[in-house]
Structure 1
Amino acid sequence: MVSETDTSAIGNALVVLGAAGIVIPAFARFRITPVIGFILVGLLVGPSGLGSLAGDYPWLRHVTIASTEDIALFAEFGIILLLFSIGLELSFRRLWQLRKLVFGVGAAELLLGGAILGGALMLFGSYSAPAAFGLGIALALSSTAIVLPIAGTKSAVGRASFSMLLFEDLAIVPIIFLLGALSPTATGDSAELLITTLWQGALVVAVLALAGWFLLPRIFAQAARAKDPELFLAASLLVVIVAALATATVGLSPIVGALLAGVMIAETEYHGEVEAITAPFKGLALGVFLISVGMGLNLKTIADQWPQLIAAVVGVVAIKATVTAALLRFSGVARRGTATEVGLLMASPSETTLIVLTAALAAQLIDPETASFWQLVTAIGLTITPLLARVGHDIARRIEMRSGDTQVDETPAGRTVVVGFGRVGRTVAELLRDHQRPYIAVDADIDTVATARRDGFLVRFADVARPGSLDKLGIENADAVVLTMDDPVQQLRMTKQMRQKYPKLPIISRARDADHAAALYQAGATDAVPETLESSLQLAEAVLIDLGVAMGPVIASIHDVRAKMRREIMTKGDLDQEPRIRKLRAQPPSRGEETA
């Protein structure tokens, strides 16, 4: 016989899964982040929405959730899974590279933001110093669960955001103990307890890292031999739960253990398989958490206190955005557009703000009414985070657009100029950067330029189709020019112009086929690389290697074929190019390819 408790749990699971099945596809269809959808679902089915009518309409109990406590455990597990998936995208090497951002800018952002917010609360809110400190440091925290899925961890925006969020997650435990020490009823044991927690936490993290280095490859090797995807999933969840419980046992946040578990698995050769198997849980985990946030919104309280709530949200967002953007900009970590985007993305309070507010309430630093007000401010802030991210992206794009035209006047000596920054131009720039060769890229699409800059590439806005634009690039100082746009006529025209002005300049151009390459050679290109030729050579290379031919002879034969075909193309370049040009004019550039 199914008990009433079991029925309630089944109903809650039905609501969450139904929301995920409806919200994600519906909002994806309209290209809207599902974050807002999940929060609205939580508001609709929560205790202040349809759940408040369940007493009058009993059937609503099957499609509503009575209280946030009913899914609090699932929401916490959702955050743990989300942090685990983020850890899979990292490695110890990347974390070491980010150490200055984490403990430099991250620490400054939290402490300075908390101090300014606390000072404003003391000045305008008449809070005591301990209460203002607790509220200020709580509101200075930003949402790991929402920010990182929006920004990722590989772009310039994502790296800066992740570094500051990582420091905030590590600082949660010291903050909670410090609030306990400020309590009117605090004893002298708080400092000793904090020190004990910190050294035990460091020991647990070290043990987990060492155990992961020895055990994880062996555990996943056994799962791989069994060729059973369920074993990979079970092993992954086991590692996450063990790591989260280990850090929680010594007083650290369980999300620290989850993040560490992801990083440890990322160091193994099985991280791709684990990431693919656990990917479906990422969206669902975030959805459960966001539904719990929406359930915390009380429409009646919002209606009664909307002027104070709007003022509080605007004040917190403005202060945090200003502090974060200024620190990133003046520390030289990010460009102006990137700093602005990160500032707005990190401007809202966090899910951990709710934890710190609860700790401040338990320490009797604030009263229940104050805690309830700022919890509502936090929920509203989490709701508008995707909107702030969109606004920040648009502002950053405009900033990059304005700065782009003023930065195209000069190219320092010794750089390679890459014209066009689509998939081909980006690949060329990545390889130049990997081999530590200086470069500068240009593109006529400002969205492409803004995205590339956020990803850390040196790209400027310039339309080389306009007369005189080539002169502003300072090509006379370049070591080489690479033409990657997919416009054969424009490539021929640019190649002729540059060859006439700069007889000794190496010009390497992307070509559609052998005929286009021959025309480019005749126009003055140093090298022209036909896409059809390279794709056929890569295909042949893959076939030979799969057939068991040694890598050395394969590479040598591919090199010989490439050299032979290049000689043939260059020989064609001595022929009349007019028929080929007419043929190229009749073939419009394919959509979605690079433009310059």
Structure 2
Amino acid sequence: MQEQHAFPFLREIILFLILAGILIPTLQRLRINQVLGFLVAGTLLGPFGLGLLAARFPEVTWLTFPSGQGVSMLAEVGVLFLMFMIGLELSAARLWAMRAWVFGAGSIQVAACTLLIGGAAYLAGQPLATAAILGVVLSLSSTAVVMQLMTEQNTTSTRLGQAAFAVLMLQDLAVVPILVLIGVLARGGGDDAATLALVALAKAGGAIALIYLVGRRVIHPLFKAFARHRQPDVFMALILLSTFGIAGLSAAAGLSMALGALIAGLLLAETEFKHEVELMVEPFKGLLMGLFFMSVGMSMDMRHVVEAPLWLAGAVLGLVLIKASVVTLLFRAGRLPWCRAVEGGLLLSQGGEFAFIVLGYAMTSKLLDPTLGARVMLAVGLSMFITPMLARLGRAIGERGERAASERAAHKDEEALAAARGQIIIAGFGRVGQQLAKLLTAQGIPFIAFENDARLVSKLHAQGVPVFFGNASRPELLRLVHAEKAPAIVLTMDNPALALQTVHAIRRDFPDAPLFVRSRDERHARALTRAGATVVVPETLEASLQLSAFVLESMGLDERTVDDIVDNERDLFAAQLNDAGLREAGSHRT
């Protein structure tokens, strides 16, 4: 027994890792949403599934989770990282750029759904406090399910994807006042409830502002100081320190740890280290979210389906109809076509993961009847289960309607052209990269740059230049900025070996990307050409050509003649590079 307590929940951890090792690749191969897969696994193997047989058959204990306690502790870590990743997407700049959708459409959606769902619950005989809790909780949608579906469908960058993401951002922000509201209702207050709520909100707002301001003074200098060492273990330690440290400060201030993790993500979203942080967390995000959603599945008692099948069917249908209708009307008011508005309504019609957190808190605070709370949780889970089907239906409606509309609306082509244009990606932001960026900015051409020098990145990022800390030889970093749609990828780094390595990596994962590369000399240029560079510009060649041009002009040749001479030399060098590449390719074949 002593050995068993030395490592609590070891059996649960091993069982979860086995399931994750089997589930994640299987679900990816079958193209099944991972969130739903973990929900099903938690439901089947949890205390209300096969875990019910553990008392009669002790052997079943090794293959199930008879008690959710073993996973709930680890699931809390999953919630923290879920909120942290959401915070990374909720940068102040992005919120401001989408302010009309976030604070306009998002606020209206939450308010309208709260009134309609809460009003329906009140008319069905629920007390006012219970109806208010159900209304506000069920107004939220599932960020995890919707974002994964949009990523799979490649719709995150479309107008519909941006509108849906904006509504989800507001819903994530709304979790803060919802948790405060639950706390106020749990403490009671009678006639003073409104005053108590205002005071609690004011205190929470002050604590959040203080944590955010203090965090800004600490987080960015901390990352800036240690990023120059370029050690992944140090970088990961800083991410964990930021997440758990600010979550701990939030808990000490009387707020939830999840809110602190959200603030940590917000703080890092404003820095030049955002993309590198996303890459560091990405391998663990799926596992940690899997823990959370598996614990959610364990809380779903499927016996209620037998006890109240009509109630559950009516609850799921009513939830989907109300939310889909509200979102559809909002998106249509935002000038999305009817077909895409309906698609967005179906996509956001489910209940959200925060419902399980808030409803669980409400039940432990005795604000919600346990039986009602369990049934509502099950209804939310079932609505998440049917979301992929609803998303496919909405996608079919959207594509069919857009095909019909494209025949009548020629101005749609302009939007498609703008979306396809993308951004030029610059890898290496020294003198050459900065000069290129200056010319692109003057022509109004968008770009994004990556640089390994943390000091230079911090300096330029503070001036509003879109340069981020990161290594462009990592294909996953390029995927984050949609390199497959970039009109050009330009490598300006002065390290020959790194440039060659980056060309190989980009060509392997982005074979069709236009790749323009700076080379050290002719030998380096030939190596880059063989690796797959589209255009190679040796710095020694350009320096000699420019110097020659000035000399020729000083000798009396006119500018046009000099330009022709220089262009001919460039063409001759390019032809020599191509001939050398063809000869080497032929020798390799023989």
TM-score by length of 1: 0.68
Q: Which ranges in structure 2 are unaligned for 5 or more consecutive residues?
A: 425-436, 446-480, 482-486, 489-510, 529-535, 550-562, 573-590
Q: Give the equivalent residue in structure 2 for 1:394.
A: 396
**Over residues 554-575 of structure 1, what are the superposed CA-to-partner deviations in whole Å (9 max), with x where a residue is unaligned?**
9979x97998379989xxxxxx
Q: Give the equivalent residue in structure 1 for 2:140.
A: 141
Name which of 360, 366, 376 aligns with 1:374.
Answer: 376
Q: Give the equivalent residue in structure 1 for 2:495.
A: none
Check if 1:267 corresponds to 2:274: no
1:540 to partner: Cα distance = 7.9
**Over residues 309-363 of structure 1, what are the superposed CA-to-partner deviations in whole Å (9 max), with x where a residue is unaligned?**
112101101110110121121133x443443333222211122223433455466
State the AA in 1 paired with 2:66: A
Q: Give the equivalent residue in structure 2 for 1:586.
A: none
Q: Give the equivalent residue in structure 2 for 1:151.
A: 150
Q: Percent identity of the aligned residues?
A: 33
Q: Give the equivalent residue in structure 2 for 1:120.
A: 120
**Over residues 420-444 of structure 1, what are the superposed CA-to-partner deviations in whole Å (9 max), with x where a residue is unaligned?**
x87xx6569xx9999679xxxxxxx
User: Which stretch of structure 1 is more off in the superposition, 41-50 or 59-68?
Assistant: 59-68
Q: Give the equivalent residue in structure 2 for 1:278.
A: 281
Q: Give the equivalent residue in structure 2 for 1:204.
A: 207
Check if 1:339 corresponds to 2:341: yes
1:101 to partner: Cα distance = 2.2
Listed as ranges, the matches of 1:302-341 within 5 Å are 302-332=305-335, 334-341=336-343
Cα pair distance change 1:47/1:330, threshold 3 Å: same
Listed as ranges, the matches of 1:349-498 within 5 Å are 349-361=351-363, 366-408=368-410
Kept in 2, the 8 Å contact 1:321–1:346? The answer is yes
Q: Secondary structure at the match of 2:349?
A: coil
1:266 to partner: Cα distance = 2.9
Cα pair distance change 1:366/1:84, threshold 3 Å: closer
Q: Give the equivalent residue in structure 2 for 1:299.
A: 302
State the AA in 1 paired with 2:19: A
Provide the rounded CA distance (Å) in 1 between the counterparts of 2:518 and 2:207.
48
Q: Give the equivalent residue in structure 2 for 1:213.
A: 216
Provide the rounded CA distance (Å) in 1 between the counterparts of 2:117 and 2:390.
19
Cα pair distance change 1:533/1:112, threshold 3 Å: closer
Q: Give the equivalent residue in structure 1 for 2:45.
A: 45
Cα pair distance change 1:195/1:565, threshold 3 Å: farther
State the AA in 1 paired with 2:110: L
Kept in 1, the 8 Å contact 2:319–2:350? The answer is yes
**Over residues 118-159 of structure 1, what are the superposed CA-to-partner deviations in whole Å (9 max), with x where a residue is unaligned?**
222344x23344432322222112123333333366553443
1:271 to partner: Cα distance = 2.8
State the AA in 2 paired with 1:27: L
Provide the rounded CA distance (Å) in 2 between the counterparts of 1:381 and 1:532.
41
Provide the rounded CA distance (Å) in 2 between the counterparts of 1:23 and 1:177.
36
Q: Give the equivalent residue in structure 2 for 1:82.
A: 82
Kept in 2, the 8 Å contact 1:244–1:254? The answer is yes
Provide the rounded CA distance (Å) in 1 between the counterparts of 2:544 and 2:55.
75
Cα pair distance change 1:223/1:47, threshold 3 Å: same
Provide the rounded CA distance (Å) in 2 between the counterparts of 1:394 and 1:167.
27
1:2 to partner: Cα distance = 4.3
State the AA in 2 paired with 1:117: I
Name which of 226, 245, 249 aligns with 1:246.
Answer: 249
State the AA in 1 paired with 2:351: P
State the AA in 2 paired with 1:403: A
Provide the rounded CA distance (Å) in 1 between the counterparts of 2:290 and 2:350.
18
Kept in 1, the 8 Å contact 2:83–2:262? The answer is yes
Provide the rounded CA distance (Å) in 2 between the counterparts of 1:350 and 1:226.
40
Q: Give the equivalent residue in structure 2 for 1:63.
A: 63
1:286 to partner: Cα distance = 1.4
Provide the rounded CA distance (Å) in 1 between the counterparts of 2:231 and 2:252.
32
Provide the rounded CA distance (Å) in 2 between the counterparts of 1:320 and 1:533.
41
1:373 to partner: Cα distance = 1.5
Provide the rounded CA distance (Å) in 1 between the counterparts of 2:276 and 2:348.
31
1:111 to partner: Cα distance = 1.0
Check if 1:170 corresponds to 2:173: yes
Kept in 1, the 8 Å contact 2:101–2:166? The answer is yes
Cα pair distance change 1:233/1:60, threshold 3 Å: same
Provide the rounded CA distance (Å) in 1 between the counterparts of 2:565 and 2:219.
44
1:403 to partner: Cα distance = 1.3
**Over residues 511-538 of structure 1, what are the superposed CA-to-partner deviations in whole Å (9 max), with x where a residue is unaligned?**
xxxxxxxxxxxxxxxxxxxx99975776
Q: Give the equivalent residue in structure 2 for 1:229.
A: 232
Q: Give the equivalent residue in structure 2 for 1:17.
A: 17
Cα pair distance change 1:336/1:176, threshold 3 Å: same
State the AA in 2 paired with 1:213: R
Name which of 548, 563, 567 aligns with 1:564.
Answer: 567
Q: Secondary structure at the match of 2:66?
A: coil
Q: Secondary structure at the match of 1:210?
A: helix
Kept in 1, the 8 Å contact 2:347–2:387? The answer is yes
Q: Give the equivalent residue in structure 1 for 2:93.
A: 93
Check if 1:34 corresponds to 2:13: no
State the AA in 1 paired with 2:163: A
State the AA in 1 paired with 2:23: V
Kept in 1, the 8 Å contact 2:39–2:297? The answer is yes
Kept in 2, the 8 Å contact 1:204–1:246? The answer is no
Provide the rounded CA distance (Å) in 2 between the counterparts of 1:383 and 1:4.
37
1:181 to partner: Cα distance = 5.6
State the AA in 2 paired with 1:383: F
Provide the rounded CA distance (Å) in 2 between the counterparts of 1:238 and 1:312.
42
**Over residues 10-46 of structure 1, what are the superposed CA-to-partner deviations in whole Å (9 max), with x where a residue is unaligned?**
1111122112111110111122222222112112211
Provide the rounded CA distance (Å) in 2 between the counterparts of 1:144 and 1:98.
17
Cα pair distance change 1:555/1:168, threshold 3 Å: farther
Q: Which ranges in structure 1 are unaligned for 5 or more consecutive residues?
A: 438-454, 456-482, 485-530, 570-596
TM-score by length of 2: 0.68
Kept in 1, the 8 Å contact 2:521–2:539? The answer is no
Provide the rounded CA distance (Å) in 1 between the counterparts of 2:565 and 2:403.
41
1:287 to partner: Cα distance = 0.7
Provide the rounded CA distance (Å) in 1 between the counterparts of 2:121 and 2:287.
37
